[in-house]
Amino acid sequence: MTKNAPASERFLELRNIQKWFGGVHALRGIDLALNLGEAYHLLGENGCGKSTVIKIMSGAIAPSEGEIILDGRSYTALDPIQSLGAGIETVYQDLSLIPNLTVAENVALSEQLVGAHGRLARLFDRSRLRQTAERALSTVGLPTDRAFLNTVVSDLPLAARQLVAIARAIATRAKLVIMDEPTTSLTRREVDNLIRVVERLRSENVAVLFVTHKLDECYRIGGHAIVFRDGQCVAQGPLEDYSKKQLSELMTGRSIDAERYRHGKPGDGELLRVEHLSAPGFSDLGFSLRQGEILGITGLADSGRNELAMALTGVAPATSGTIALQGRPVTVRRPADAIAMGIGYVPEDRLAEGLFLDKSIFENEIALILTRLSNAVGVVDKQQGRAIAARLSEEMRLNTKDLDLPVGSLSGGNQQRVLIGRWLSIGPKLLVLHGPTVGVDVGSKDTIYRAIQA
């Protein structure tokens, strides 16, 4: 793809990059080159090495072997200050924003750390901070008024936090902007605006590297495809040289059935009836759901869809209206009420709201059934629990059999499989799924769709 490009255009090159984590060979001889003014799409299943390679580029981790050529200079490894100083800005999947700082402080952070000319800043320049933040926020379509600039990031919805992270990445004189799943929580309008930002960056001779699973967006942007599978680069070249089907098969090593939506007749019994339901964010909603039926609810980020999910599951109870489950009126005031009734909830933000990241797969999978697994004095039957966790992991096609791995060490797709598996452990009557395939690869999507339809 870029092997024959003039050296003057080349900004970053990786040569025979190897990375081991203990006994796991995460990257196997990666060779790739990125040129200024070009767009690249790094594709592959979760766990294939994409996040590892961008962490090496950004200086977060060092390769075990190999060479990095950055702006014509050779390195065995980079540190974050070297990476930032050379013009590499990264938007990670977890956004890496500082929750107790304001929007303006987060956006201007990189420039304040490194300085306007790539040198380590010694003084914190508040006058430049606001100007930097206003310029970057307006570029991604966010407000620039004083109230928004002074908003603490933890008070923002997920979509706004994602745009703030992108604004921070483009706030400096970047030469390479790396975006890890940048559109997972964005509306179509916000995605359209981001694509315009990418076009502007390319026109300014900035390289852009997307780590994504959304092939439609790749083709809208254009550029080059880089496909990883099992720690290896299995294909790279102009995006137009590959069909979506070819890219999916390269990513997974197998044929993915495109027909996900199975038409079938729901059961005869009514499972759920909602009438005149209201809560902050929505009002007077009503609908019904039959046994075995899949109901899709859509809307913009602030349309009330999130609040409805939380009302049905007791996270943020409804203020008025009725909910009937299998013909009987129920009151859902807290998540424990919902769980007792067989109502499960997979939230939009699995990292902040769904998983115990420092706990193992085993501990996460059995978290909802501890009472069932415990004897009269509260001792958990771990043997039975491990058998259940192993079964759920197999059903969700987890790519590891080690149930003692911390969930925080897993890829996004495997984390989502663990979360859905946990809710399957209670044998739910109703499962409320908020964006169940956000930020996961095509293979994980296929597994999740099959689990939903089962």
Domain assignment of residue 277, yes or no = yes
Domain assignment of residue 1, yes or no = no
* DSSP string over 144-199: -SHHHHTSBGGGS-HHHHHHHHHHHHHSS--SEEEEESTTTT--HHHHHHHHHHHH
Which region holds residue 156: left if phi is over 0, alpha if psi is between -120 and 50, else beta? beta
As a whole number, mean pLDDT of residues 323-337 equals 94
Please indicate, yes or no, whether residues 220 and 76 belong to a single structural domain of this protein. Answer: yes
Spatial contact of 77 and 14, defined as CB atoms under 8 Å apart: no
Percent of the chain with pLDDT over 90: 48
**Cα gap 86→36, rounded to integer Å:** 13
Please indicate, yes or no, whether residues 322 and 240 belong to a single structural domain of this protein. Answer: no
Please indicate, yes or no, whether residues 287 and 241 belong to a single structural domain of this protein. Answer: no
Average pLDDT across the chain, whole number: 86
- Domain of residue 155: give its range: 7-252
Domain assignment of residue 224, yes or no = yes
Domain assignment of residue 2, yes or no = no
* Residue 186 in this model has a pLDDT that exceeds 80: no
Please indicate, yes or no, whether residues 423 and 328 belong to a single structural domain of this protein. Answer: yes
Domain assignment of residue 429, yes or no = yes
Q: Which two tokens stand for residue 94?
A: 């977890």
**Cα gap 28→49, rounded to integer Å:** 9
Spatial contact of 343 and 432, defined as CB atoms under 8 Å apart: yes
For 417-427, what is each residue's pLDDT tens digit? 999 999 999 99
**Cα gap 133→139, rounded to integer Å:** 10
Q: Which residues contact 34 (CB under 8 A, 6 or more apart)?
A: 2, 10, 11, 12, 13, 40, 176, 207, 209
For residue 8, what pLDDT is reported?
45
We report the CATH number of the domain holding residue 83 as 3.40.50.300
Please indicate, yes or no, whether residues 348 and 217 belong to a single structural domain of this protein. Answer: no
For residue 22, what pLDDT is reported?
76
For residue 152, what pLDDT is reported?
93
Q: What is the sign, positive or negative, of the torsion defined by CA atoms of 70, 74, 77, 78?
A: negative
Question: Which pLDDT band holds residue 175 (cuts at 50, 70, 90)?
Answer: very high
Please indicate, yes or no, whether residues 244 and 374 belong to a single structural domain of this protein. Answer: no
* Residue 114 in this model has a pLDDT that exceeds 70: no
Per DSSP bridges, beta strands 343-346 and 430-433 are parallel
- Secondary structure class of 64 (helix, strand, coil): coil
Please indicate, yes or no, whether residues 346 and 306 belong to a single structural domain of this protein. Answer: yes
Please indicate, yes or no, whether residues 296 and 248 belong to a single structural domain of this protein. Answer: no
Q: Looking at 252, 285, 302, which one is the last position of a domain?
A: 252
* Residue 266 in this model has a pLDDT that exceeds 50: yes
Percent of the chain with pLDDT over 70: 91
Domain assignment of residue 265, yes or no = no
For 18-54, what is each residue's pLDDT tens digit? 999 877 788 999 999 999 999 999 998 877 889 899 9
Domain assignment of residue 263, yes or no = no
Please indicate, yes or no, whether residues 19 and 80 belong to a single structural domain of this protein. Answer: yes
Domain assignment of residue 261, yes or no = no
For 341-363, what is each residue's pLDDT tens digit? 999 999 888 888 889 999 999 99
Q: Looking at 221, 252, 283, which one is the last position of a domain?
A: 252
Please indicate, yes or no, whether residues 315 and 445 belong to a single structural domain of this protein. Answer: yes
- How many structural domains does the chain have? 2
Please indicate, yes or no, whether residues 237 and 279 belong to a single structural domain of this protein. Answer: no
For residue 343, what pLDDT is reported?
94
Q: Looking at 220, 252, 284, which one is the last position of a domain?
A: 252
Q: Which two tokens stand for residue 357?
A: 């990241």
Please indicate, yes or no, whether residues 319 and 204 belong to a single structural domain of this protein. Answer: no
